[in-house]
Amino acid sequence: MHIAFRRLSSAAALAMLLSTSIFAADGPSGMDAATLVKLKTVLTGAQRGDENKARDQYRHPLEILRFFGFKQDMAVMEVWPGGGWWTEILAPLLKEKGQYFAASIDPDIKAEGVKEFVASFQGKLDKDPASYSKAKVVAISPSTGKAEPVKPGSMDMVLTFRNIHNWMDAGDAKKMFEVMFKSLKPGGYLGVEEHRGRTDKEQDPKAANGYVREDYAIKLIESAGFKLVSTSPIGNNPKDTKDYPEGVWTLPPTLAEGDKDRAKYVAIGEADNFTLLFRRPAN
């Protein structure tokens, strides 16, 4: 299991960007103005660590949530939130009018460091009740029987970021998406981000290098019952050659090779990622 984890200068520039296709509201009727205002406030909030804020240039949280059609009054489940990069954004956004569920790794999974990892995430929430007191942590793992993290058909939106390779490594990928499908209301949305694999190579079923072909991911997710709604170029990084000695973890933020060729990898930035929006059919 592998778990790792030109700035806008004016209102005019922001207005220009908001009119471009990568901000297109492909989700449930688009992000409303009140949610957008709240999101901008949350992105600059003290609950976010400086290192996490610095990654906005690669992770594009505002653009991605607009693309998904996220709204602050939704019931949202984030699957495998890791160290909580997105939790710092989603939980405060949903605290007043919506619901945030963090579907974390099951601490009963027999893998080194899992219990400590889950405890660390819970500790993060406990230290900042002003931001996270209404966040609900649940466990998800089909292999250990945790296949119903929330009431079936109760979520407006399910989100997961850069996790498909982990589930492929564990052999649980399709089962995980089946759980997400069951968790969503009919007509609900699934937003997915993952490291994009090369199309000139066969997909490793274990995704050992951390990269997943976009076409492979779409087929996998649709096999669980979802229908693809839209794709977005938000996370594209043409500098990523995807042929590194330590796989995707060679790049920031992990920099698995330490100081070796560090400047080279920092200049590339974080991985090339695909961003996909799916829907559970209404009928």
Residue tagged 């949530």 (tokens): 65
Query: Bigger pLDDT: 17 or 185?
Result: 185
According to the model, what pLDDT value does residue 11 have? 35
Residue carrying structure tokens 């984030």: 78
- Long-range contacts, stretch 245-249, CB < 8 angstroms, 24+ apart: 247/2, 247/208, 247/209, 247/210, 247/211, 248/165, 248/195, 248/209, 248/210, 248/211, 249/2, 249/4, 249/210
Q: 27: pLDDT confidence band, cut at 50, 70 and 90?
A: low
C-alpha triplet 211, 158, 108: angle, nearest 5°: 75
Backbone φ/ψ region at 4: left (φ over 0), alpha (ψ -120 to 50), beta: beta
Q: Which of the four pLDDT bands, split at 50, 70 and 90, describes residue 26?
A: low
CA–CA gap between residue 162 and residue 152 (Å, rounded): 24
Query: What pLDDT was estimated at residue 29?
Result: 67
Q: What is the pLDDT of residues 45-74, one digit of tens each?
A: 999 999 999 999 999 999 999 999 999 999
- List the single range of 21-30, 80-89, 94-103, 186-195 with lowest mean pLDDT: 21-30
pLDDT tens readout for residues 255-278: 999 999 999 999 999 999 999 999
Domains of the chain: 11-279 (3.40.50.150)
Neighbours of 24 (CB within 10 A): 14
Mean of per-residue pLDDT scores for the chain: 91
Q: Give φ, ψ of 263 to 5 degrees.
A: -60, -40
Question: Which residue has better confidence, 12 or 138?
Answer: 138
Of 13 and 123, the one with more pLDDT = 123
| Average pLDDT score over residue span 186-191 | 98
Residue 23, pLDDT above cutoff 80? no
* Global pTM value: 0.90
Q: What is the CB neighbour count within 10 angstroms for residue 136? A: 15
Residue 4's pLDDT band, with cuts at 50, 70 and 90, is: very low
Q: Is residue 207 classed exposed, middle or buried when 0-12, 13-18 and 19+ CB atoms within 10 A define those classes?
A: buried
Burial of 46 (0-12, 13-18, 19+ CB in 10 A): exposed
